[in-house]
Structure 1
Amino acid sequence: LQCEQQGTRELTAHDYVYEIKRLASSRIVSPILGHMGDYVEGLGDLSKTLQEHDKALKEKIQKETGSAFPPATADLPWLDLREFDLPGAKALDDHTLEIRVNGKYPQFIYWLAMPFFAPIPWEADAFYSQKGFIENNLVLDWWPVGTGAYMLTENDPNSRMVLSRNPNHRGEPYPSEGEPGDKAKGLLADAGKTMPFIDRVVFTREKEGIPYWNKFLQGYYDTSGVSADTFDQAIRASADGDAALTPDMAEKGIRLETSLSTSMFYLGFNWLDPVVGPGSSAEEARRAKLLRQAIAIAMDWEEFSQIFTNGRAVPAHGPVPPGLFGYEEGEAGYNTQVYNLVDGKPVRKPVEDALALLKQAGYDNGIDPKTGQPLTLALDTTGGGPGDKARFDWYRKQFAKLNIQLDIRATDWNRFQEKIRKGNAQIFFLGWNADYPDPENFLFLLYGPNSRAKTAGENASNYSNAQYDAMFERMKTMPNNEERAAIISQMTDLVQDDVPWLFAFVPQQFGLIHEWYGNVKPNDLARNSIKYKTIDTAKRDQARKEWNQPEWWPIPVLLLALALFIWPAWAAWKRREQAMGIREDLAATVANRTGGKR
């Protein structure tokens, strides 16, 4: 391999073009090819061209070698993507990149900030494609090449990973503006200074939670989450009911950072199922909707949060989580199908309301009229180990409120995914983490043409509603304005009534931060936050010294215990020695008197 540059070189627009072309290569198997193929001009056609190229290359190699089988894709020679044209991505010059997108897609700007579009130098692609490299794990995703603030200099995911400051980094100024309250929290104190601030970042894998927690308390880790095992030691309820640090944590100068995750968990109903789905007639659709509405009331997600998350979750009322445009707070945003408004706060409707809906659906007191027995529904899920039993029992308890029997079909993740993919699950529990901060990224999960079973899309419920789909088509490319907010509100009302999902909860994240760790601000979508962070190493060293003073008192206690343990044995040995001495003296005296004869 001949490379003009074997150290470092300037990033150019050509490196971005090269990576976008990589999305089309079947050798990469990009998970976003199908989606981006609809938007980046010519990307789908390039994918077909590259597939045909590799197919012809395999046939040629097989013919030349006389092999019975074509070579594996990994054994093919390097594919130089510079030789292929992509109309939708052009480098107009070294510093100007042009990307052509089909139609309107304002969310595309968010995709550009994701790893899929990180620039790749052709030299790195060629280098890691050399024969024997893959077999020895010398691959690009193990030893990445980039232009970021840090370099991956040690990579052992089972032990530790080390990021070192990139000496060739361009340097970026710390922000001088922020959100309200940032300045008061000291988050703008480093405004204008060149980032990054930390020279070396070490990630260590602790296989057990308790050793990790103890090392955090000793100051050997700068930050920590809060597990169920350590929750009571770290967190207490304040006077107003909010989470606060325990006195021991506060005394150490530890800070508590909380934030709602841009994610959503839900219990989904399969729209293709003959019982919980709309069926083939208006009457079947009516009965199934009433059944879903009844179950939605019975599922007490507030109780679930208290039992299984230590209260670190808030009930979800719609498909858009807090923090994203289109989320409605207060009275305007609560789910009227499931909650009543009491003193300005949503309160879950009583189970009697759910039983009334069940009766209207033809399942009086949960009895299936076809069998005369309690209705049986199936929940497909993953797990099944001892740790899942309590959660499964809780699910059964919720359905039992309606006299419905719940059959839990637990399996491994691959089998579960297969059921979802084929549309064979009846009820299932899933979640979604935001890819980017736009409501479209959640609302598309219920868009009919995205059906998992029909089009391999992300609509796992296979929900289909022409009215919802039409509103989604209008909403998805609109700017964030009042009209878009109104459409999202109508879409939310529609799915609250249809109940393709039981909106479960939005997780709340808790983070514990030592006082020497600066510029920490929760951001669930950011993946480049380390460069903003600061470490006061002097303060950390002092804390470690104070918190890890050697405990000398056990030594004298141990010596005393050892002495008390040894003393009886020593005393017995001494008495025995004395007794033996007396016997020897007596024997000598007798011998002297008898002249040594007996």
Structure 2
Amino acid sequence: MKKMNKLIAFVLAGAISFASLAGCAGNGASSATASGSASGAASSRKSEASDTLTYAQGAEPRGLDPALVDDGESAKVTCNIYEGLLKYDKDSTKVEPCLAKTWDISDDGLTYTFHLQEGVKFQDGTDFNADAVVYNIDRQLPPKVTKDMSYASFVYSSVKSAEAVDENTVKITLNSPCTPLLKNLAMVFGAPVVSPKALKDNNNNVNQAPCGTGPYKFVRWDKGEDIVLIRNDNYWGDKAKCKNVVFKFIADNSARVVALNNGEADMIDGIDATVVSQIQSAGNKLYQAKGMNTNYMAYNASKAPFNDAKLRKAISQAVNVPELVTSLYQGYSEPATSVLPTFIGGYDKSITQTAYDADAAAAVLKAAGLTQVHMITYTNPRPYNTVNGQALAEAIQGYLSKVGVTCKIDSYDWTTYKSKVTEGDYDICFYGWNGDNGDPDNFMSLMSVDDPSQNVARYKNPEFNKLIAQGLSTPEGDARNAIYTQLEKIAAEDNVWLTISHAQNLCGYRPNIHDFYYHVTGDVPLAGVSKD
């Protein structure tokens, strides 16, 4: 892999250099010159630019190992490098074949047999086969699973074992039926198959040396700047339309808009309402779709003061959520009346969160003597919160000041923030969730898992956890939906979170970009995108 990367870097030197300076053909490749050689060079650079996609995102990935990351910024890159046994339909979370071409499920729901694609190679030239699949699953099962594999429990919690029946057949045996298993195996976290050789060569951590079977392969990562990918010309499926992809990291919303309008980026995300007109007036296009996400404020229920549900309720009463959402998001997010987005099974419109009542909040907080809280938040935009966590925290701070509570806010970049959340030194934190697979368990289990990077409220409720387990094993249908509706009611009554909003997916892109889409899961598959 290292030798291959050196060769790729040499061949791409001109293209990458140009991409970082110009980004797209729309700016003009060079000044006019009478020199034939200069004209030819300009033409060559223009050709390279038209074969390079530059995507600007609001934060740097935490890493590129799908078992060791859990953030959307990483997923945007990794979904172009790796594949799993299954994948989602372009327009939904309907499961489709990928590295597994077919599968069988036993009558008791405890055995899944996957029949694999043949002749597939990893990007390091090694064979994809049943042993590779088993290696990746075993890596995330006890006793090998590590604490930093935060999605292992989401994907494989019901898995007892995996075995290679033959070179192209894998059998997965479960401890108990798991209704969302197929959807879990299509997720961009935990489920993608990594080259076993790459894992062995990199001490079980390919965050800096990703190697999958996908349409693009890794070239380099300049920290704080960008990640560069190149088309995998040995890809087993349809080849990517553009040769090169550059993921640029631009934290500031307005700076990303400038990069788009100047042609330094072809696509940008993390857009809020304040920049939509700038994007469209410059002749660029807006991608807009309903998001599968929830933006929320979590109480640290593991310690005082918010181990007291009455105080969690009082703080929630102090915040006028509909007013807040209208002010901050200006029509591009809707107030969240539940944890679940409205189109996910288990959503029930009769569920309501704690209503705004500043007077009642002030009375309870005064009686309890609660006058100060410690908040932590993030500084970058997120798919569920396009204005960034700092702006949201300050808005909440304003509401709480009206009921006699002072807020100390500590803000961090996203990578640091994830560590701070795990450490747990806060009364309140700001978080959100972009659904991975369209299943209600993917949202509701965030309040039952032991992992503090997922269950940021550190909420523990045996009744809640029992229902979570029941929901996992219940077949899809009304009975299963009713379980998740009940879980919603418990979360609302206990005020585990203050649910704030469901955001639309908003991206800007240049008019010469074709077939770009932002998947409902937050992934950004770029293999099918072309550029004039």
Q: TM tier, shorter chain?
A: 0.5 to 0.7
Contact 2:271 2:506 in 1 (8 A): no
Name the structure 2 match of 1:150. 216
Contact 2:271 2:507 in 1 (8 A): no
Contact 2:351 2:489 in 1 (8 A): no
1:217 aligns with 2:235: no
Aligned partner of 2:529 among 530, 533, 540: 533
Could you tell me how far apart the structure 2 residues matched to 1:6 and 1:465 are? Answer: 45
Unaligned runs of 5+ in 2: 1-121, 381-387
After TM superposition, the structure 1 = structure 2 runs for residues 55-94 of structure 1, keeping only pairs within 5 Å, are 88-94=161-167
C-alpha displacement of 1:529: 1.7
Could you tell me how far apart the structure 2 residues matched to 1:476 and 1:317 are? Answer: 24
C-alpha displacement of 1:326: 2.2
Residues 28 and 8 (structure 1 numbering): CA distance in 2 closer, same or farther, change over 3 Å?
Answer: farther
Aligned partner of 1:96 among 169, 175, 198: 169
The secondary structure found in structure 2 opposite 1:410 is strand
Could you tell me how far apart the structure 2 residues matched to 1:30 and 1:408 are? Answer: 32
Contact 2:228 2:246 in 1 (8 A): yes
The secondary structure found in structure 2 opposite 1:167 is coil
C-alpha displacement of 1:12: 1.6
Residues 378 and 125 (structure 1 numbering): CA distance in 2 closer, same or farther, change over 3 Å?
Answer: closer
Per-residue CA deviation, residues 252-297 of structure 1 (Å, 9 max, x unaligned), is: 3x3322234333222223334455434xxxxxxxxx53x5444323
Name the structure 2 match of 1:379. 374
Could you tell me how far apart the structure 2 residues matched to 1:150 and 1:419 are? Answer: 33
Contact 2:145 2:152 in 1 (8 A): no
1:106 aligns with 2:179: yes
Contact 2:293 2:341 in 1 (8 A): yes
Residues 145 and 21 (structure 1 numbering): CA distance in 2 closer, same or farther, change over 3 Å?
Answer: same
Name the structure 2 match of 1:486. 482
Could you tell me how far apart the structure 2 residues matched to 1:37 and 1:336 are? Answer: 32
Residues 293 and 168 (structure 1 numbering): CA distance in 2 closer, same or farther, change over 3 Å?
Answer: same
Residues 388 and 169 (structure 1 numbering): CA distance in 2 closer, same or farther, change over 3 Å?
Answer: closer
1:519 aligns with 2:515: yes
Residues 378 and 416 (structure 1 numbering): CA distance in 2 closer, same or farther, change over 3 Å?
Answer: farther
Could you tell me how far apart the structure 2 residues matched to 1:124 and 1:477 are? Answer: 35
1:119 aligns with 2:114: no
Unaligned runs of 5+ in 1: 42-87, 173-194, 236-244, 279-287, 339-348, 538-598
After TM superposition, the structure 1 = structure 2 runs for residues 170-209 of structure 1, keeping only pairs within 5 Å, are 170-172=236-238, 195-205=239-249
Could you tell me how far apart the structure 2 residues matched to 1:367 and 1:305 are? Answer: 27
Could you tell me how far apart the structure 1 residues matched to 2:150 and 2:228 are? Answer: 28
C-alpha displacement of 1:482: 1.4
1:495 aligns with 2:512: no
Residues 486 and 163 (structure 1 numbering): CA distance in 2 closer, same or farther, change over 3 Å?
Answer: same
Q: Kindly provide the amino acid, as one letter, of the partner of residue 398 in structure 1.
A: Y
C-alpha displacement of 1:115: 4.7
Name the structure 2 match of 1:326. 346
Could you tell me how far apart the structure 1 residues matched to 2:419 and 2:230 are? Answer: 41
C-alpha displacement of 1:149: 1.4
C-alpha displacement of 1:464: 4.1
Could you tell me how far apart the structure 1 residues matched to 2:194 and 2:391 are? Answer: 47
C-alpha displacement of 1:400: 3.5
Contact 1:111 1:436 in 2 (8 A): yes
Aligned partner of 2:359 among 355, 359, 362: 355
After TM superposition, the structure 1 = structure 2 runs for residues 394-413 of structure 1, keeping only pairs within 5 Å, are 394-401=395-402, 403-408=403-408, 410=410
Name the structure 1 match of 2:232. 166
Contact 2:313 2:495 in 1 (8 A): yes
Name the structure 1 match of 2:289. 259
C-alpha displacement of 1:532: 2.4
Could you tell me how far apart the structure 2 residues matched to 1:474 and 1:466 are? Answer: 12
Larger % of helix: which?
1
C-alpha displacement of 1:214: 3.8
Residues 446 and 117 (structure 1 numbering): CA distance in 2 closer, same or farther, change over 3 Å?
Answer: closer
The secondary structure found in structure 1 opposite 2:395 is helix
1:270 aligns with 2:300: yes
Contact 1:384 1:410 in 2 (8 A): no
Q: Kindly provide the amino acid, as one letter, of the partner of residue 406 in structure 2.
A: L
Name the structure 2 match of 1:13. 130
Per-residue CA deviation, residues 159-218 of structure 1 (Å, 9 max, x unaligned), is: 44333322221224xxxxxxxxxxxxxxxxxxxxxx533333333455876665344224
Could you tell me how far apart the structure 2 residues matched to 1:470 and 1:128 are? Answer: 39
Larger Cα-atom Rg: 1
C-alpha displacement of 1:10: 4.1
Could you tell me how far apart the structure 2 residues matched to 1:468 and 1:272 are? Answer: 16
The secondary structure found in structure 1 opposite 2:473 is coil
Residues 408 and 108 (structure 1 numbering): CA distance in 2 closer, same or farther, change over 3 Å?
Answer: same
After TM superposition, the structure 1 = structure 2 runs for residues 311-460 of structure 1, keeping only pairs within 5 Å, are 311-328=331-348, 332-333=349-350, 335=352, 337-338=354-355, 349=356, 351=357, 354-356=358-360, 359=363, 363=364, 367-368=366-367, 375-382=370-377, 393-401=394-402, 403-408=403-408, 410=410, 425-447=426-448, 450=449, 458-460=454-456
C-alpha displacement of 1:232: 6.0
Could you tell me how far apart the structure 1 residues matched to 2:508 and 2:221 are? Answer: 26
Could you tell me how far apart the structure 1 residues matched to 2:313 and 2:514 are? Answer: 47
Could you tell me how far apart the structure 1 residues matched to 2:146 and 2:370 are? Answer: 49
Could you tell me how far apart the structure 2 residues matched to 1:315 and 1:231 are? Answer: 21
C-alpha displacement of 1:481: 1.1
Could you tell me how far apart the structure 2 residues matched to 1:208 and 1:164 are? Answer: 27
The secondary structure found in structure 1 opposite 2:346 is coil
